[in-house]
Structure 1
Amino acid sequence: MIHVALYQPAIPPNTGNVARQCVGMKAHLHIIGPTKFEVSDTNAKRAGLDYWDDLTLSLYDSPEDFLGWLGERRPYLVTKFGAVRYDQPGYADGDVLLFGNENTGLPEDWRKRWETSCLYVPIPGPVRSYNLSNTAAIVLAQASLKAGLLEDHQLI
């Protein structure tokens, strides 16, 4: 199982979309607080449709709580400051994909701490950034595929 962590997400529909993607890919969603909304927010629930009961979800009140769970694991940080293209790592079952807040990204000290694990998704077209939930879907699908977690499943 791949772990997807959202650092202090600010937009409920993005979180709901990521939650739905996690259910579909059998990934574990970690939400690092504090957040700007409650997970029970109507917009988050609507975006996640009726899949919330199937979601493996962990909520953390603070970044320190999440770091306590993370322990010695080395996460992959997905950031515009990454030096490694998202499809290059040899992902494995149990890996952690860490995505930043839609407005402020990931803390600089986290990017420095795991500098060699910072990934980016190329943007060849004239846009500043991709939507958080779209980026999470791109990276989670690639990580799951490379980790061999999709071998017995049909993709639509």
Structure 2
Amino acid sequence: MVPLRLALYQPDIPQNAGALLRLSACLDVGVDIIEPCGFVLDERKVRRAGMDYIQHSSYVRHPSWPSFRERLAAEGRRLILLTTRGEHRHDRFSFRPGDTIMVGRESAGVPSEVAGAAQARLRIAMRPEARSLNVAMAAAMAVGEALRQLGAFPEERPEEGSCA
């Protein structure tokens, strides 16, 4: 089983989606994009943030939440939601191979039906007066922690350049 996937629930901002596709390419993490998106999802729209890394990203588009949830169940994956109302801190949570980390819409998060379907809801520890992190930054932090725990960072290939 693939160690980890990242799910974007109805993303609103193409630059964030592009940044997460770039993260996907650099860290070899598959992405699930749950539609509808708040923008036309095509390579041109996300290329600016994703640059030429998008061609190395592995992503699957799902036409709806029910179709994504069906596939998640069929593959036996655990859904881990990043939310400001999470019960657990991301750095104190035990990730497992096969987990799918989900981020919500930048403008509205996820509906209660989606939050209720998650096996765990995680938050990133922040100063009390801070509202939230950018969705791409939060996803990068959680994906990095999960890969660290799973020992699943890709092998470095210095001869091929850097994703930094």
Compute the displacement of 1:152 (Å).
4.4
Overall identity of the aligned pairs, in % = 28
C-alpha separation in 1, matches of 2:18 and 2:107: 17
RMSD (Å), alpha carbons: 2.0
1:113 aligned residue: 117
Alignment deviations for residues 58-108 of structure 1 (CA, whole Å, 9 cap, x no partner):
001111111111114321110011100001222233210011000110111
Instruction: Please state if 1:123 is matched with 2:139.
Output: no
Does the 8 A contact of 1:90 with 1:147 survive in 2?
no
1:135 aligned residue: 138
For normalisation by structure 1, the TM-score amounts to 0.90
C-alpha separation in 2, matches of 1:61 and 1:89: 30
C-alpha separation in 2, matches of 1:37 and 1:90: 34
- For the structure 1 residues 87 and 129, does the alpha-carbon distance in structure 2 shift closer, same or farther, using more than 3 Å as the test? same
Map residues 4-153 of structure 1 onto 2, 5 A cutoff. 4-40=6-42, 42-71=44-73, 72-114=76-118, 117-124=120-127, 126-150=129-153, 152-153=155-156
Q: Secondary structure of 1:42's match?
A: helix
Q: Secondary structure of 2:20's match?
A: helix
C-alpha separation in 2, matches of 1:113 and 1:3: 17
Compute the displacement of 1:124 (Å).
1.1
C-alpha separation in 1, matches of 2:29 and 2:123: 20
User: Structure 2: which 5+ residue stretches go unaligned?
Assistant: none
Does the 8 A contact of 2:77 with 2:98 survive in 1?
no
C-alpha separation in 2, matches of 1:94 and 1:74: 7
Does the 8 A contact of 1:29 with 1:56 survive in 2?
yes
Give the aligned length. Answer: 155
C-alpha separation in 2, matches of 1:24 and 1:125: 32
For normalisation by structure 2, the TM-score amounts to 0.86
Q: Secondary structure of 2:152's match?
A: coil
* Dislocated runs of 4+, deviation >3 Å: 151-156
Does the 8 A contact of 2:78 with 2:98 survive in 1?
no
C-alpha separation in 1, matches of 2:112 and 2:25: 30
Compute the displacement of 1:125 (Å).
6.0
User: Structure 1: which 5+ residue stretches go unaligned?
Assistant: none
